Structure 1
Amino acid sequence: MSVLDQLTRPNVPVLLGDGIVLRLPRRSDYEIWRVLREESRTFLRPWEPLWAADELSRASFRRRITRYNQDARDGSGYSFFIFDAASETLFGGITVGHIRRGVAQSCVLGYWMGERYAGHGYMRHAVDAVKQFAFEVEGLHRIEAACLPSNQRSIRLLERCGFSREGLLRGYLKIAGKWEDHCLYAMLAEEWSRSVDSASKRPTAYADIV
């Protein structure tokens, strides 16, 4: 980790999943992030907003890190990179964003996966780790997630992770340059608690900051 990363990192735990590690992105992650996003460009673009002309530049990445760190300090959102257990191979990213406190106590889940790592179960383990973080550490009551009706891979993921479909959001997000309807999924804290209580043991989903 660079000295700048050490000086600027927020006080956020590392999340542990089944064979994966989730941590806040660092400036020193730029090259592995750029390579994975570039090689996955065609795979990701149908499901994301239009990429900026400098999407993969180092300057753009630094702005992302600054924004991620500020969101984490404010408690308004947490963006994690998903690594293998050795913290060497970057698989993708997952975000607990748009956190609302007060009477809402809710957040929005977002994620992306590099093409070569899709379909191996890594994102399911990442979602499970993030659920525990959101409900136990952040004390939230509701996690929402939205996906395109045509994104069957994402729909299967959310359903396998225990999310329930609640409806259709019309013209919800501008994806690939077009306003698109999205399926709304959600999970409540009590639903997650029941699923954990029925398991053989409570998972370990967070660790000391490294």
Structure 2
Amino acid sequence: MFALPFIRRETPALEGGKIRLRVPQIGDYREWAQLRAASRAFLQPWEPRWMPDELERTAWRMRINHYRQDHAQGTAMAFFIFEKGRGRLAGGITLGNIRHGVSKSAQVGYWIGQPYAGQGLMTEAVTTLSRFAFGELKLHRIEAACIPRNIRSIRVLEKAGFQREGLLRSYLRINGAWQDHYLYARIEDDPPAA
């Protein structure tokens, strides 16, 4: 498979005020596994059902290979979110289903470790990734979906300048059950986030 010309092979780290986004690396395993394990109860209601080997090193290697394949094909870009000052892993964010041509769109998905929730890090990560998507990748539209009762995620998207466009019925299978999701989107010429 070849790398599409609109994505450089070496994706630069993206800088925000309090956060730094960079591509996950194989050496991030221990910190990732510890944060995910400590945040399991916090994350599980909003994610696909965890596999029994979810935090094992073998599953991690497969995840990294998947990230690399998607990046090489130009269909997705995964980033980890690090606190800028202390350099600790706080969460992850992915720009997926990247489409060019007449669509020029993508979808954003994210997670944050429980110790870092409510500090504005995810809002900044979504805003930083949006700037990259509209600037470097020349996208026109970014979408995000969230479960209607996930008030924290709704706040993140709205603070990052996304607008609610509708309800997607039985959209994704989350934690073992099909869930409705609100569809949010941001267009490249929407006003900047507050």
Number of the residue aligned with 1:169: 168
Distance 1:26 1:78 in 2: 13
1:70: how far off? 1.3
The answer for the alignment partner of 1:46 in structure 2 is 45
Map of 1:116 onto structure 2: 115
* Cα distance, 1:11 vs structure 2: 1.3
Name the one with the larger helix percent: 1
| Cα 1:76–1:87 shift into 2, 3 Å | farther
CA distance in 1 between partners of 2:124 and 2:17 (Å): 6
Equivalent pair of 1:11/1:73 in contact (CA under 8 Å): no
Conserved in 2, the CA contact under 8 Å of 1:12 and 1:72? no
Q: What residue ranges of structure 1 are gaps of 5+ in the alignment?
A: 1-9, 200-210
2:24 maps to 25
Which residue of the partner structure matches residue 6 of structure 2? Answer: none
Cα offset for 1:86?
Answer: 4.5
**Cα deviation 1:142-198 (Å, max 9, x = unaligned):** 00000000000101111111100000001100001001100000000111xx428xx
Q: Is residue 2:103 matched to residue 1:94?
A: no
1:141 and 2:144 correspond: no
Q: CA deviation at 1:72?
A: 1.2
Give the 3-state SS of the residue equivalent to 2:192 in structure 1.
helix
Separation of aligned partners in 2, 1:174 and 1:76:
21
Deviations 1:85-133 (A, max 9, x none): 1573000000100111111110001000000100001111111110111
**Does residue 128 of structure 1 match 2:127?**
yes
TM-score, scaled to structure 2? 0.93
Aligned residue for 1:120, secondary structure, equals coil
Q: Which runs of structure 2 are paired with 1:40-79 in the superposition (5 Å)?
A: 40-79=39-78
Q: Name the counterpart of 1:204.
A: none
What is the DSSP-based 3-state SS (H/G/I as helix, E as strand, rest coil) of the residue aligned with 1:12? coil
Amino acid at match of 2:174: I
Instruction: Work out the CA distance in 2 between the residues paired with 1:89 and 1:195.
Output: 28
Asked if structure 2 preserves the Cα contact closer than 8 Å seen for 1:98 and 1:107, the reply is yes
CA distance in 1, matches of 2:83, 2:180: 33
Structure 1: 4+ residue segments shifted above 4 A = none
Aligned to 1:183: 182
- TM-score under structure 1 normalisation? 0.86
The alignment of Structure 1 onto Structure 2 pairs a total of residues equal to: 187
Instruction: Give the counterpart letter for 1:167 in structure 2.
Output: G
Q: 1:19 Cα deviation (Å)?
A: 1.6
Q: Identical aligned pairs, as a percentage?
A: 52
